[in-house]
Structure 1
Amino acid sequence: MRILHVISSFQLGGAEVSVVQLAQALQGVGHTCCVVQVVAPRKPSLQGKKLVRECLESGVKVVELGWGGKRTSLLTSPIRLARLIRLWAPDLVHSHTDLPDFVVSVVTRLRPVKIVRTIRNTELWPTRPLTGRIVEQSFRDDMVVSISADASRAYDQLRASHSLPQSRYRAIINTGFCATEVHREKNRSILAARYEADLSKIQLCFAGRFVPQKGLDILIAAIDRLGLRARANLEIHCFGEGPYLAELKAAKASGLPIKIHLPVPQIAELFSAFDYTLIPSRFEGLCRVSLESLIAGTPVIASDAPGLRETLPNDWPLTFPNADTVTLATILCQVASGAFDDKMDALRSRGTEWVKSRFSMDAMVRAYESVYELYLSGKPFSLDFRNRGREG
């Protein structure tokens, strides 16, 4: 099959990394893939350049559409994408996230196209509902893949809110991950040398955009509830950038045990250096940071937010109710007092095995191959490919 994947841009982001890995894996089993960027980034990032390089090295074609910023890109990309589709003649055009959906929706008005969409979030068009409605009206019986049950419900709610029928071609396919070799002690040395970590303290990591969705304000409020003794035992590293940076700096200036760092390409390679990863998100699609942390052997302290709760083992003891700063503060206090120290080996093992059993890269690729073929055959389906692996 010839599959054209459409993404927003080659930038730091879980969706973009997942798409590149999917395209590489499909290319590796005999398909022909192309990844298309529809929005030109203001400033190309090291992570974006790395993603492009990884595509090219694995034989995946790369096309960078869009120029002159986001608005100009969204005006010009549909025409350029329609031309690319005519020349490259894909069997399927696979759109990932909202801006690609917008561009592809315009293309569908210009020429008939077999469309696949992957729903990667549980909040769809929250700030542009009218645009979302116009986009959704363009899609009728496209193939819809959701990366989690929560994302699938979000799609159902979006279609219902606009009185639109659901697609007859549906599937739930979890994002896949590959187990990587863990170098905990080496990475802790890097953490100390490069990020000035005091390894005598408990090391916690937040990695993500500094935006409301990711719940940094929830985390700051919870840390603020801690007593001086608990604060003295913790060191919380925040990797990212965004509009909450000023609040984060103010919290650090007030004496909270926070260190602020710019985004780091391939941050997942560093997760094993930390004792815990913090994920106070309000909503996710299927949280990549959670899965990457668990497979690296780092326990996750996380909210039970939609799209995040599905990444955690059943009855995970480090979960707190969404936006509940009191319970999060209680967990942090327990962490600071060493309440989980004798359970760390069990938590690490349980988390790693959970990801291996439910979020296999091979299983994801086989699932996509299956639904691609079914969709092209024209036979309606509704399938759930989630692997309900056993826990010990």
Structure 2
Amino acid sequence: MPAALRICFVSMHTSPAAVPGTGDAGGMNVVELAQADALAALGHQVDLVTRRSHPDDPDTVELQRGVTLHHVDAGPRTPLAKSAIDDHIGEFSAGLARLAPPDVVHSHHWMSGVAALPVARTWGVPHVQSFHSVAAPPGSPLSAGEPPESPRRVPGEAAVAKESQAVVAISAAEAQTVIDRCGADPDRVSIVSPGVDHTLFRPLAAGEERWNATGGEDAWPRGYVLIAARLEPLKGPDLAIQAVAGLDAEIRPHLVVAGDASSAFASYGRELHAMVADAGLSDGVTFLPAQPRPELARLLRGARVLLVPSHSETFGLVALEAAASGTPVIAASAGGLREAVAHGVTGQLMDSRRPEDWSLALTRLLMVPGLLARMGAVSRVHARRFDWGWAAQRLVAVYRQLLDD
């Protein structure tokens, strides 16, 4: 039997232990932690290394058997905006170098790679890079409304894409992006799709009540549709609101918006509330903060439809979690969402961003007899193809190939 590996997951910009509840961008932290857990289940040791963002963060804490979290000092011991964290890449790199060398270093996000790549070289071990997102070209539709990128990001992404021994993408769409935009060697790029916790994300059980903010089944007689994402322009919550507003009142379900505004878009939540009021939907929309994973799962299995109107997604994990919950998805035909959603089978992919087209698609799913039930049944079959154990085996294959080489 091959020897167990010691793998160092480097995630500089946020603590992998602080898993957000939306299943989306946080989604990426969900991916990191789920991959670490699955690798540990195969008998490997995973060290998660992140920046200390609170004075009480311990140097080391065991999250579970085989998964240990390490905090490294880099800048003030407080949360920082992503745009400020890369000022402390050098400090983080120095702190990382003081840890025991692993067999493989696997960096998540570009800042982590810039910090960890020289350390991996010093240790004489392979460096693997995962991006999770890549900077949009300046002036592109994807960058509209987004805060300015750090001037270090684009050259940093190119450097780690070209100089790492391997790049692990989460979807074919992301693989294409890192090859075309960052210059990664296609022979060094592998795709490892995410998995789903099928115990947590499951269909509504017989007799189980759907989630309802008021606690009463009769409060929303037409049920609810859901968007679960950070409240920022890239995620398109304004389009979700406009799509629901465009429905005939006789068929319009409630809209639940679950997610927090990031520090870069502190006023965006207020703008969305104003949009709801202007549309006359104040009684038809419920805003929730980002939800813990169990509550997100409860929301998903109770929703009639999940809306994912993002301008761009490397995968769109929440769409896959909805599928495992038996909930059809209407999503933008963008990035990895084309792989998470089987068009016309588990949901609808939209090339248009016109609200009236989204309203029409939503009307069809809600009104065609039996359509939601049929899509929900196939969605569960579709989601079973995605498993964290399988993802861990693929990662180990990538690591061992590098070590053999």
TM-score after normalising by structure 2: 0.79
1 CA distance for matches of 2:216 and 2:260? 16
Taking a change above 3 Å as real, the CA distance of residues 240 and 196 of structure 1, as seen in their structure-2 partners, is farther
Match of 1:288?
317
Amino acid at match of 1:33: V
The amino acid across from 1:15 in the alignment is: M
Match of 1:199 among 189, 197, 220: 220
- How many residues align? The count is 362
1:29 aligns with 2:42: yes
Cα offset, 1:74, TM superposition: 3.9
**1:209 CA displacement:** 0.2
Q: Distance in 1 between matches of 2:363 and 2:338?
A: 22
2:153 is paired with a residue whose SS is helix
SS at 2:250 equivalent: helix
Are residue 249 (structure 1) and residue 273 (structure 2) matched? Answer: yes
| Paired residues for 1:64-143 under 5 Å | 64-65=71-72, 66=74, 67-70=77-80, 73-76=85-88, 78-105=90-117, 107=119, 113-121=125-133, 123=135, 127-128=148-149, 130-135=151-156, 136-137=158-159, 139-143=162-166
1:62 aligns with 2:69: yes
Q: Do the aligned partners of 1:147 and 1:286 also contact (CA within 8 Å) in 2?
A: yes
| Matched residue, 1:384 | none
Quote the offset at 1:288 in angstroms: 0.8
TM-score (norm 1): 0.82
C-alpha distance 215-350 of structure 1, shift in aligned 2 (>3 A): same
Structure 2 residue matching 1:375: 3-state secondary structure: helix
Q: Which AA in structure 2 matches 1:17?
A: V
SS at 1:206 equivalent: strand
Q: CA deviation at 1:347?
A: 0.8
Q: Shift in Å at residue 144 of structure 1?
A: 0.3
Letter in 2 for 1:137: A
**1:147 paired to 2:170:** yes
CA contact (8 A) 2:209 2:217 kept: no
| 3-state DSSP of counterpart to 2:163 | coil
More helix by share: 1
RMSD (CA atoms): 3.1
Tell me which amino acid in the other structure corresponds to 2:31. Answer: S
Q: Secondary structure at the match of 1:277?
A: strand
Matched to 2:376, the amino acid is R
Matches within 5 A, 1:203-242: 203-230=224-251, 233-242=252-261
Aligned to 1:362: 389
Which of 4, 8, 31 is the equivalent residue of 2:8? 4
Mean Cα deviation higher: 80-89 or 273-282: 80-89
Q: Please list the CA deviations of residues 324-366 of structure 1 after superposition, one character each: whole Å capped at 9, or x if unmatched.
A: 323101122334xx42341222111111101112x12222111
Counterpart Cα distance in 1 of 2:87 and 2:134: 26
Shift of the alpha carbon at 1:199? 3.4
1:324 alignment partner AA: R
- SS of residue in 2 equivalent to 1:9: coil
Number of the residue aligned with 2:348: 318
State the one-letter code of the partner of 1:274.
Answer: A
Cα contact 2:231–2:259 (8 A) shared by 1:
yes
Provide Cα deviations, 1:232-259, integer angstroms capped at 9, x if missing partner. x310000112133112211222212321
Task: Give the 3-state SS of the residue equivalent to 1:144 in structure 2.
Answer: strand
Aligned residue number for residue 178 of structure 1: 197
Q: Secondary structure at the match of 1:191?
A: coil
Residue type of the partner of 2:70?
V
The Cα offsets for residues 179-238 of structure 1, whole Å up to 9 and x where unpaired, read as 2254446764542445998331231111010112211122233334334434xx310000
- Cα 1:6–1:197 change in 2 (3 A) is farther
Please tell me whether the aligned partners of residues 122 and 306 of structure 1 are also in contact (alpha carbons under 8 angstroms).
no
Q: Distance in 2 between matches of 1:108 and 1:235?
A: 51
> Structure 1, unaligned stretches of length 5 or more?
379-392
Give the AA of the match of 1:239: A
CA contact (8 A) 1:40 1:73 kept: no
Question: What letter matches 1:249 in structure 2?
Answer: H
Q: Distance in 2 between matches of 1:100 and 1:195?
A: 46
Q: 5+ residue gaps in structure 2?
A: 21-25, 138-142
In the alignment, does 2:350 pair up with 1:331? no
Show the counterpart of 1:259.
286
CA distance in 1, matches of 2:121, 2:247: 56
Shifted more, 110-119 versus 214-223: the winner is 110-119
| Corresponding letter in the other structure for 2:358 | L
Structure 1, 367-376 or 326-335: larger mean CA deviation = 326-335
Task: Specify the code of the residue in structure 1 equivalent to 2:185.
Answer: Q
| Conserved? CA contact 1:97–1:118, under 8 Å | yes
Q: Please report how far the alpha carbon of residue 290 of structure 1 lies from its aligned counterpart in structure 2 after TM superposition.
A: 0.2
Of the structure 1 ranges 305-314 and 59-68, higher mean CA displacement relative to structure 2 is found in 59-68
Q: Which amino acid aligns with 1:220?
A: I
